[in-house]
Structure 1
């Protein structure tokens, strides 16, 4: 097997282990690594008398990328013994390294995530290079996994149970080197590669008898063990807080991390490592980890890598005009300025434009003063059309009215740079229709951002009938420049995200009309894994906006428009002035903008006699409503790929992360697509024809 670790011993006895897998651009914890680590540790043990210390570093730009996800996603229950043996080997070698009796220093020259940080934690001292883009941490929880090469065991012993869980293990946070130092994950941060190696050598010379704290006589775990009275009194709060954080959703990975940490803290290091292994193998052989790895690693890599981008060369955008300085327009302007682009933020008055720029001033509040000033200097607020001269891209973010959008494009198009990209931030209006109002429809495209723009990672790019490949490539590149994940969809009213989330809201509000108690609806969604209850989400969206969008659909579809029970409830509440959070009242009551209790007047909204509906049915009605409409989007050509559908549903509209996406949910359903179709047919008989499955499902061929 190919060696992935180079071994070099200097005349002074310092051995440098250089992680360098020749077959990959980044080092991963694969079988070749395991064999190589066994070989170099065997050699260290054999040559121990001639060794004065060990430096572990990397020849790659990153230190170590983590586990071998292409292999991990394939693991089945039949593979459990082999995976357990591999983990035992990996951990055994790291354990031999840290108990060698010689000082071991990790010289972390780039990102160390997951397994990379676990290798570093098995060293006695960690020095990180302050390299641009370098991150350290354990993102495993975001992939449905836990750090299973000693990460749980060692962080608990370094930091104590509470800090390890809340700061590192359960958050999935990726730390910059300086933040990793503050958190205690590394011991020093240096500015140059030369300082990195020099610092490692100096530490070895100064600490010839280095050992891990937990291998030192008299060691006490920070904060105590679970048998310590002070910590024992806190333990019941751990699962309670986790359940509160997950909002009732049962997520295997956070629960396994908590269990491995608490159980491991009660035993010796080697037993704790075994406990950790068993929890990881359980996760690896389960479906949720496969769903999350598939979506948040492979699908995300595919989308961000440009699968939806035409292979054409285009000039990069340099100066952007944003039309409309409301919250959305101001957020887009800030995102552009933060990405280093010059931005002209235009509204009908100087005052309105200035208010939009003031939004950016709030967002830069936590940044260093010099960086904040540079961002703000790139934003010009104006009411003067002439100020847009030279802009090579325009993003319109005005009110959702077709005539208004046509008017603002007609006003600005003559002053823009020749061939400027023309983009609309509309969330529902068909792009082909809006393009009819511009002189260059081939350059017109939809760029649907999500609110708040500074936090939401998704960008839905909508291709109209006349949109050219160059416009799509430019919009894609601009989205990536802004740090967004751009999915590409074809035109259609509501596109993909707005249309599918509309089904979710309609189904939930329709339940209310059936007489199902509002708290049951909200809890069903939260326990299914949605980040927000649908009634709370409807308040955020605004019932007035929901009515307006529905009327647009009705006008477009005519006799084909299907009325739903939810429509009457929305009309009634909106008519009562309970339009949502912005109005101070909706499905919920609000006080000073803060959501309070569900409105006590919701019960009489029922238009049918209430009936007992199983919680599982409530949950699956919400999940199936979205998945079935996503299948229709795929069949109609609105969705160009399942990957875009899955990523769009996860990053844009809050489809439960454990599913791996709205279409992967169909494939992974018990029994596969056939099992999904059978369950959909059951729901159709019980709750309506809208659950009737399509004749052909992805993966059923």
Structure 2
């Protein structure tokens, strides 16, 4: 796990190489061994200096979240953290120089361990990243990161790294002062040894110390009490609240660690960090985020839903039908993954425009110093824009991304299948039309599947994989292989109108429109959405997707379902906005006005068409409705078999439409309340606002049995 070699020079080399893992992590076994080895090296008179490194491509990936989540005992967690703190303090104060040779990434606990060394040298590895990303999982650094990093580079420089979880390249970490040197790959250990030899020759009175242990030490850039730092902390606190609405404890606790810790000595600061760390780990927000964003997303990315027994599909050539923004984005992701892409549209100019989308993305990346001209040229060379369906010959899969029109989709399906090989898969990127119905136009429905990408494809990592009534297990397995090859995250759902993501996402938007019809102030509605944790308020979001689209989908649903159709109050509001010609942002007018110069602003005319009620509701009531309406619809999707796992429900919600991460997803929200409490909430809301909140039978059964989506 950690091998030890004491060289003739007196340097003890501690090399991390955890068996059975692709990456080194801090867990019960490795922390125990690390603490023991530090004790031994500090006490061994033959050891004059310590070099810590890794035999793997990276140094340490961070803490093992399974170990972290294994107990709810605050005292146990606190002692674990403090034991590591004591060991690292012994490492940096044992009187022997300590160098860290980092062959690759050092993230989270890995960087915190490296910061306890007196000298850090990294390989110039283009894939290596250095940072403290714990906040992205609802946590804070618990290995001294909130104390050592600001003491090393200054509070003002450290706050963005701690609060945003930024991951720096080696050159940027060197510039920030986190690293002492960056050398050619393979030379980091020799560079560390050279520094150690010089340090070992120093007189006892000149022995190496950490900056914060030197008498007279001052925090770079100013102490906490300095006016500039006080202003920076106040600004950071305001920014955190503006971004999170107080929903995420981690960033606020990080600020508290920095503020409280740096007005004391480092040992007291480390104890302060340990207390806040335990408090944060045990918070429901952190537990929900870890479960969904780490464990569940990890399972999805490892294709947990892939049917067994199907050989892995290796893709070389992909066809994309439709070169609009969606099709162009899919073509870019496929070419980025090294696949040959045939991008087809009705006119050559349209196909060329679709390829130009990739060129624009690459030019933007180049402007930020990402990629080389050669890499960009190679990616573009893999995309063939054309109107000729014959060029689809040899494609392993074709992804249709044309307009949401059944006749058009059937027409392009027929033209593509006439060219495709017998084993090729045909996938539709539809976001609302049932896959089984579209597959009726196919000559091979067993090889027909839905692959719902999200716009913009280059930024949105989710793919909703929709299994039709006749889709084969092999087609599902092979389609998941494609999603993995594209570097994206899949969820698997069964066929239904709106599938899962579009269906549940629409409830948020429509509930906001219903509130408007009730007379709730527009600003209050959108601020309630933000307060709930959604990235955009429902009215602003409706403008983004357009009232026209909502109205078209509702009209088509009404026609398709006939007497079985059940509308929502928000549909009438969308229809009225279409009548008024205020269809959304693309038209320059919707619930908001979009002046050419200046920021968008709510349309004053809303009060005329949707008069405000004399008494306005408490924002908390609106927050409750906006979240509950999504959660209860997700439960219905589970009940109907559209969803088969809570994992896919929650991962899909967070990645697909921005359901608040601190809630863990709509089914995590139900579990956090408990089925009985959520049932009572739904019954109360249904009595006040209508059947859309009516609890499904599944929820009643769970409340009676005490079962949860993630537990018993």
Shift in Å, 1:466: 0.8
After TM superposition, list the pairs within 5 Å mapping 1:86-105 onto structure 2: 86-105=80-99
Q: Measured at CA, do residues 189 and 421 of structure 1 come closer, stay the same or move farther in structure 2, by a change above 3 Å?
A: farther
Structure 2 distance, partners of 1:316, 1:234, is 51
Structure 1 distance, partners of 2:657, 2:580, is 28
After TM superposition, list the pairs within 5 Å mapping 1:160-171 onto structure 2: 160-166=154-160, 168-171=161-164
CA contact under 8 A between 1:442 and 1:468: conserved in structure 2? Answer: yes
Aligned to 1:692: 694
CA contact under 8 A between 1:516 and 1:610: conserved in structure 2? Answer: no
Aligned to 2:511: 507
Is 1:70 equivalent to 2:76 in the alignment? no
CA contact under 8 A between 1:75 and 1:284: conserved in structure 2? Answer: no
Aligned to 1:291: 288
Structure 1 distance, partners of 2:155, 2:297, is 32
Structure 1 distance, partners of 2:549, 2:346, is 22
| More moved, 305-314 vs 234-243 | 234-243
CA contact under 8 A between 2:42 and 2:96: conserved in structure 1? Answer: no
Residue 418 of structure 1, aligned match among 417, 422, 435: 422
Shift in Å, 1:272: 1.2
CA contact under 8 A between 2:247 and 2:662: conserved in structure 1? Answer: no
Q: Measured at CA, do residues 569 and 539 of structure 1 come closer, stay the same or move farther in structure 2, by a change above 3 Å?
A: same
**CA displacement, residues 322-359 of structure 1 (integer Å, 9 cap, x when unaligned):** 11111111111111111111111111111111111111
Structure 1 distance, partners of 2:231, 2:472, is 64
CA contact under 8 A between 2:497 and 2:503: conserved in structure 1? Answer: yes
Q: Measured at CA, do residues 584 and 373 of structure 1 come closer, stay the same or move farther in structure 2, by a change above 3 Å?
A: same
CA contact under 8 A between 1:392 and 1:418: conserved in structure 2? Answer: no
**CA displacement, residues 429-475 of structure 1 (integer Å, 9 cap, x when unaligned):** 11111111121111111110001100011000101011112211121
Is 1:396 equivalent to 2:393 in the alignment? no
Aligned to 1:335: 333
**CA displacement, residues 396-454 of structure 1 (integer Å, 9 cap, x when unaligned):** 11111111111111122222233211011100011111111121111111110001100
Residue 181 of structure 1, aligned match among 174, 183, 189: 174
Residue 43 of structure 1, aligned match among 40, 53, 60: 40
Is 1:52 equivalent to 2:48 in the alignment? yes
Shift in Å, 1:53: 1.4
Q: Measured at CA, do residues 177 and 70 of structure 1 come closer, stay the same or move farther in structure 2, by a change above 3 Å?
A: same
Aligned to 1:153: 147
Is 1:125 equivalent to 2:125 in the alignment? no
| More moved, 691-700 vs 523-532 | 691-700
Structure 2 distance, partners of 1:491, 1:183, is 51
Residue 654 of structure 2, aligned match among 645, 650, 653: 650
Aligned to 2:710: none
Shift in Å, 1:106: 1.3
Aligned to 1:430: 434
Structure 2 distance, partners of 1:127, 1:608, is 63
Aligned to 2:259: 262
**CA displacement, residues 90-135 of structure 1 (integer Å, 9 cap, x when unaligned):** 0111011011222211122333221111111111122223457443
After TM superposition, list the pairs within 5 Å mapping 1:457-606 onto structure 2: 457-592=461-596, 596-606=600-610
Give the gaps of 5 or more residues in structure 2.
Answer: 201-206, 366-370, 708-712
Structure 2 distance, partners of 1:135, 1:696, is 45
SS of residue matched to 1:110: coil
SS of residue matched to 2:164: coil
Q: Measured at CA, do residues 382 and 14 of structure 1 come closer, stay the same or move farther in structure 2, by a change above 3 Å?
A: same
Aligned to 1:217: 215
CA contact under 8 A between 2:520 and 2:612: conserved in structure 1? Answer: no
Aligned to 1:303: 300
Aligned to 2:631: 627
SS of residue matched to 1:292: helix
Structure 2 distance, partners of 1:372, 1:479, is 22
Is 1:442 equivalent to 2:446 in the alignment? yes
CA contact under 8 A between 2:550 and 2:571: conserved in structure 1? Answer: no
| More moved, 287-296 vs 588-597 | 588-597
Q: TM-score, normalised by structure 1?
A: 0.95
Structure 1 distance, partners of 2:342, 2:20, is 47
Structure 1 distance, partners of 2:141, 2:248, is 16
Q: Measured at CA, do residues 154 and 498 of structure 1 come closer, stay the same or move farther in structure 2, by a change above 3 Å?
A: same
Residue 109 of structure 1, aligned match among 91, 98, 103: 103
Question: In the comparison of the two structures, how many residue pairs are matched?
Answer: 690
SS of residue matched to 2:697: coil
Is 1:9 equivalent to 2:6 in the alignment? yes
Structure 2 distance, partners of 1:199, 1:343, is 45
Structure 2 distance, partners of 1:604, 1:700, is 48
Structure 1 distance, partners of 2:323, 2:599, is 26
Structure 1 distance, partners of 2:311, 2:103, is 34
Structure 2 distance, partners of 1:227, 1:412, is 69
Structure 1 distance, partners of 2:454, 2:588, is 22
Q: Measured at CA, do residues 482 and 621 of structure 1 come closer, stay the same or move farther in structure 2, by a change above 3 Å?
A: same
Q: Measured at CA, do residues 130 and 414 of structure 1 come closer, stay the same or move farther in structure 2, by a change above 3 Å?
A: farther
| More moved, 505-514 vs 409-418 | 409-418
Point out 4+ residue stretches in structure 1 off by more than 6 angstroms: none
Aligned to 1:361: 359
**CA displacement, residues 464-508 of structure 1 (integer Å, 9 cap, x when unaligned):** 011112211121111111111000101011000000001111111
**CA displacement, residues 376-411 of structure 1 (integer Å, 9 cap, x when unaligned):** 111111122222222221111111111111111112
SS of residue matched to 1:54: strand
**CA displacement, residues 16-63 of structure 1 (integer Å, 9 cap, x when unaligned):** 11234447554332232332222212212212x432211112234442
Shift in Å, 1:640: 1.9
Q: TM-score, normalised by structure 2?
A: 0.93
SS of residue matched to 1:50: coil
Aligned to 2:278: 281
Structure 2 distance, partners of 1:163, 1:316, is 45
Is 1:244 equivalent to 2:218 in the alignment? no
Q: Measured at CA, do residues 87 and 299 of structure 1 come closer, stay the same or move farther in structure 2, by a change above 3 Å?
A: same
Aligned to 1:198: 190
| More moved, 660-669 vs 62-71 | 62-71
Structure 2 distance, partners of 1:575, 1:249, is 39
SS of residue matched to 2:104: coil
Shift in Å, 1:314: 4.0
SS of residue matched to 1:235: helix
Q: Measured at CA, do residues 37 and 455 of structure 1 come closer, stay the same or move farther in structure 2, by a change above 3 Å?
A: same
Structure 1 distance, partners of 2:231, 2:128, is 38
**CA displacement, residues 159-211 of structure 1 (integer Å, 9 cap, x when unaligned):** 21121111x11112333434433443333334433x12212111212333332
CA contact under 8 A between 2:171 and 2:182: conserved in structure 1? Answer: yes
Aligned to 1:232: 230
Give the gaps of 5 or more residues in structure 1.
Answer: none
Shift in Å, 1:618: 0.6
